[in-house]
Amino acid sequence: MNIDHIQRIKSALINRYSMKIQFGYILKDLRKSKNLSQQELANYLCISRPTYLRFEKNLVEAPLSKLFELSELYQLDVVKLISKDQLKRTKQKKNKKLLITNEMHHVKQMVDLAVHLTG
């Protein structure tokens, strides 16, 4: 293996890690929407409560088998369960861009006013 090959592998691993689907917040929202406790979910999934908590806190990825069980419980397709996370992240990015755009517009108005008052 040459250096370039190792760098490509390293880059691919970094990209995979940064793109890791983290949907703990979605799991928490879904659980709360059904008025379920973490313990009830853990029992349903046949895991310990601390293990389920790790899923919600994005400390570990839920195994695919558990995702299928959760999709059955919430009556969501696994793809939709995962894509809910993607939609949430996309919405957060759009909100952040909108906030920045609004702040830039406000700063421009202040600059225009300052130029008008001093000009």
Which domains does the chain show, CATH number per domain? Answer: 22-118 (1.10.260.40)
Asked if pLDDT for residue 88 goes beyond 70, the answer is: no
Condensed to tens digits (0 to 9), the pLDDT of residues 94-106 reads 777 777 777 777 7
Q: CA distances (Å), 53 to each of 48, 76, 84, 104, in order?
A: 9, 21, 19, 40
Q: What region, left, alpha or beta, does residue 25 occupy, with left being phi > 0 and alpha being psi -120 to 50 degrees?
A: alpha
The pLDDT score that the predictor gives to residue 32 is 93
Which pLDDT band holds residue 116 (cuts at 50, 70, 90)? confident
Tell me the two tokens of residue 99: 């906030």
